[in-house]
Structure 1
Amino acid sequence: MSGCPFNHELGEGPDGGTPPAAVEPATAPESGAAVGSPPATAPGVPPRVVSVKRGMSRRGLFSLAGVGGAGAIAGIAAGFLSHDAVAAVAAPASPAGNAVPFYDERQAGIVTPAQDRLHMAAFDVTVEDRAAVIQLLKDWTAAAEALTAGRTTGGTGAVDGPYYAPPEDTGEALDLDAGKLTLTFGFGPGLFEKDGKPRFALDGRRPDALIDLPRFPGDALEAERTGGDIVVQACADDPQVAVHAIRNLARIGFGKVRVRWSQLGFGRTSSTSRAQTTARNLFGFKDGTANLKAEDAGLLDEHVWATAGSRADEAWMAGGSYLVSRRIRMHIEIWDRTSLREQEGLIGRTKGTGAPLSGGEEFTAPDFGLKGNDGGPLIAVDSHVRLAHATQNNGVKMLRRGYNYTDGSDGLGHLDAGLFFIAFVKDPRTHYVPMQMAMAKSDKLALEYLKHTGSGLFAVPPGIKPGGFVGEGLFA
């Protein structure tokens, strides 16, 4: 479902590379100096670092121990290399298949086979200078291309730099490969106007489909988990790779943007390729059985990829999509005390195989007309499957990429856990809002076991070409 955890129906190099140039051995510390102290130099003169060539993977950095001995790697760990040099030793060398191309006709992270981990963050733009925003997007584009290729966010070549300057990359992923990282960017309504006034000379450029989502019945939205001017979705198979990516984009944006909210996710709750099996959510049910897949080219054109719109000013969105995010807390403890029969009745599917209660297997089409011995429908009229099914929603579908989340407890001994719902749709006015409104009013599962605490809608532009930048069409 959209905005609900069980949208079964609707949306429902190897290490090595070019060897580094030799690093000058660190000057032995003077008597009494602490091991690992900066090399002794004349006052005011930064330590000397010999440039290091590109071509080494993040993990390959540690092979320097075999080149210059333990002293060389200890010197790096102590900070003997400048910030630019540290960045330079981490050039692309991710194993084949672990790097997802950043430049493409469409942004990665939509139909890309869903990875296992998520770190999503929404940013508010804190400047009002159009040129500054464009430069930020260019900087983020360069960093995103490097990160998804398994490199750091530092310079492309080694440059001597001051020892006491901050590193150009935070460093926690230096020894990791790309981890199939994808970075997907989207723009919220706040980028186009603020307090009713246009921003960044984008008058008339806001797409008609980028609406302010209505307040749905039962919403308990928290301002600090809702909205945002720019969103970045980082998905990877390694949680540290995803966290590192968002952390470094936030660092690059310091002074221009600030994080409005962020969310960590684990355990995908949807498959976006037929090569993937159906995952389960924290209620233990298979989720996203009828989700759109990358192989469904015709259906993606019909339900996911945006068109140029009716106005010339929104043509920049052609080939993009709209991202809906909803933070949905599950009342885990109440659910765990509910009988299996009631759980399956609320969902409309069996918990074990995921088959509809009308019979068959997981991918058998549900028969909503089939009645039980009591004369009532086998799949209840207020069940999740019935209300979310495309046949009950004018045939619309969506592509979901949600994740489970657990954010500790609420201080009352209850888990703060649930589903971070993510869906990509062609037009939220037709492919999300009507269905979510119906479910919020009638879905017994949503009424009794779920609470929506965060929300966002973002326009995701099409892919980026080499030499271009994220949102180039919008700012052209």
Structure 2
Amino acid sequence: MDIPDSRRRGLLFGAALSPFAAPALVSAAQAGDAPQDPPTDQIDLTHAYPFYGPGPQAGIATPPQRHIVYMTFDLTSTDPRDLQILLARWSASIAQMMKGEPISKVDPGRPNAGALDTGEALDLAPASLSVTVGLGPGVFDDRLGLQAFRPKALRPLKHLPGDALLPEISGGDLSLQACADDPQVAYHAVRVLARLAKSTGTAATRWAIMGFGRASAGVGQSTPRNLLGFRDGTRNIVTEQDRAKFVWSDNPGWGAGGSYQVVRKIRMFIESWDTDRVDDQNEVFGRFKVSGAPLTGTHEFDTPDFKAQGPHGPVIPANAHMRLAAHEHHNGLKILRRGYNYTDGINSLGMLDAGLLFLSYQNDPHAFETLQTRLGASDALNEYISHIASGVFFVPPAPPEGSYIGAHMFA
């Protein structure tokens, strides 16, 4: 007896919860699902990015590094000067750490020269560290008197279909995104900056997450895979022309050339996914698992043919993830995705607690809302994922040397 896809997947989810679940059924490689060229990524741990501008902050258009530590903060002071001092100290500290230098040089007047640096990265190279600072909607509410500087599109995200957000790991007034090719370098950067926030009494940590194995490809990098085994980032923004059109904001004055950051923690039901047949997984994504090619093509970067029909309907199903996210179906709309895999160990049910730390950059958060509204309502992938955390931040442009992030707000 034939079982409809939706019901069949539900049965598979139930099987995943059973200790007697059968192993996943793996189909033979299909046409277009042959392995492609092997990865050619190279890592230079001595490489360093500049912190100071002109231009956007590092960590947006920067080729994705291997590891990330992401942390958000709540403001604990209502004095704008406290925030000014924190952003100035953060900027000076980030500039030193991105060079691979200890931050004791930021405050040479202290009697203990190493007092500002926690020390765990003293023997490590810069490892392409980038630290990106974001300002949440709360920075511009009536607590600090900075309402006049609010970026025009900055506001909390609206409730979106499929949201199952946990309040304790959503929102925040400040964000730090530290990416590096050495996980200890990234962790050190956020640890030092969180310590500065606490010591000044300006902000307290809200939530944090560590990610690995970048899930968005940059120019010259092979497209990495998410924890469901599929390539993630094939149709991402890679040209400056697209970044100018879709990523950099046109905020007048101090925010010109910044961007809006959206962060989502997306839990994956990995055991359920692993019981599903590979041919069904291909239909969920609209791509072949091994090669990354669209179901209408043979190579990863082939342009998908959304009009192609098979014996049972569209070759790329109407609810396939790729079809619903495609810019062809959103009047050309694109966002810059910068995601990482994460794992939090085992949950209370004894199942893997893991998924995707999704980060995107766009010139208006409404762009993300537009895409996620359609995905959250109809995406076949929704049976295997849940959006559990969310936040939105404005990322100002990089400051010129001798200045600091957001300095124009305090002029």
The normalised TM-score by structure 2 is 0.86
- C-alpha offsets along residues 176-197 of structure 1, whole Å, 9 cap, x if unaligned? 111110010110011111xxxx
Corresponding position of 2:332: 395
1:316-465 to structure 2, matched below 5 A, reads 316-374=254-312, 376-429=313-366, 431-446=367-382, 448-465=383-400
Q: Does 1:285 align with 2:227?
A: no
SS at match of 1:280: coil
In structure 1, C-alpha distance between the alignment counterparts of 2:170 and 2:116, rounded to whole Å: 30
Deviations 1:124-169 (A, max 9, x none): 110111111101111111100011010112135866836xx98321
SS at match of 2:195: helix
Match of 1:161 in 2: 111
User: What residue number does 1:209 align with?
Assistant: 153
**Partner SS state of residue 432, structure 1:** helix
Say whether residues 1:186 and 2:134 are aligned partners.
Answer: yes
Instruction: Report if the CA contact (8 A) 1:307-1:315 is conserved.
Output: no
| TM-fit CA distance, 1:440 | 0.5
From the superposition, tell whether residues 96 and 247 of structure 1 become closer, same or farther in structure 2 (CA, over 3 Å).
closer
Q: Contact (CA 8 Å) 1:398, 1:424: kept in 2 or not?
A: yes
Q: Secondary structure at the match of 1:287?
A: coil
The 1:353/1:134 distance shift into structure 2, 3 A limit, reads same
Provide the rounded CA distance (Å) in 2 between the counterparts of 1:329 and 1:385: 19
TM-score, scaled relative to structure 1? 0.74
Return the alpha-carbon distance in structure 1 between the equivalents of residues 342 and 185 of structure 2. Answer: 17
User: In 2 relative to 1, CA 131–442 (structure 1 residues): closer, same or farther, beyond 3 Å?
Assistant: same
Counterpart AA for 1:339: R
Rg (Cα) greater in structure: 1
Q: Helix, strand or coil for the counterpart of 1:279?
A: coil
Cα 1:217–1:158 shift into 2, 3 Å: closer
Q: Which among 45, 49, 53 is matched to residue 100 of structure 1?
A: 49
> What's 2:30 paired with?
none
Matched residue, 1:231: 175
- Structure-2 separation of matches of 1:159 and 1:225: 38
Counterparts of 1:160 and 1:370, CA distance in 2: 68
User: Which residue of the other structure, out of 399, 402, 406, is the alignment partner of 1:471?
Assistant: 406
Q: How many residues are aligned here?
A: 365
Aligned residue number for residue 185 of structure 2 = 241
Out of 31, 37, 60, the position equivalent to 1:110 is 60
* Superposed counterparts of 1:129-148, under 5 Å: 129-148=79-98
Q: CA 1:185 to 1:264, structure 2 compared with 1: closer, same or farther past 3 Å?
A: same
Q: Aligned residue for 1:36?
A: none
1:13 corresponds in structure 2 to none
Q: Which residue of 2 aligns with 1:32?
A: none
Shift in CA distance, 336/320, structure 1 to aligned 2, threshold 3 Å: same
- Say yes or no: does 1:267 pair with 2:213: yes
> Do the aligned partners of residues 297 and 359 (structure 1) sit closer, same or farther apart at CA in structure 2, a change above 3 Å counting?
same
Cα deviation 1:304-351 (Å, max 9, x = unaligned): 00002xxxxx53221000001000000000000000111001000000
**Amino acid of the structure 1 residue aligned with 2:188:** H
CA distance 1:208–1:121, change in 2 (3 Å): same
Q: Residues 388 and 158 from structure 1, CA distance in 2 versus in 1: closer, same or farther, beyond 3 angstroms?
A: closer
In the alignment, which residue of structure 1 is the partner of 2:5? Answer: none
Aligned to 2:27: none
> Given residue 197 of structure 2, which amino acid in structure 1 is its aligned partner?
G
String of CA shifts for 1:269-294, please: whole Å, max 9, x gaps. Answer: 0012x21110100000001100011x
Report the alpha carbon displacement of residue 401 of structure 1 after superposing the two structures with TM. Answer: 1.0
Q: 2:46, 2:127 within 8 Å by CA — same for their partners in 1?
A: no
Can you give the 5+ residue segments of structure 2 that lack an aligned partner in the other structure?
1-43
SS of the equivalent of 1:408 reads strand
Amino acid at match of 1:153: I
Kept in 1: contact 2:46–2:125 (CA 8 A) = no
Structure 1 residue runs of 5 or longer lacking an equivalent are: 1-94, 309-313
SS at match of 1:316: helix
User: CA 1:169–1:390 in 2, change beyond 3 Å: closer, same or farther?
Assistant: same
CA distance in 2, matches of 1:127, 1:386: 46
**Counterpart Cα distance in 2 of 1:350 and 1:190:** 43
Name the Cα RMSD after superposition.
1.7
Measure the CA separation in 1 of the matches of 2:162 and 2:410: 38
Are the aligned partners of 2:93 and 2:106 in contact in 1 as well (CA < 8 Å)?
A: no
Query: Is contact 2:237-2:334 (8 Å) kept?
Result: yes
Residues 267 and 404, structure 1, Cα contact 8 Å, conserved in 2? yes
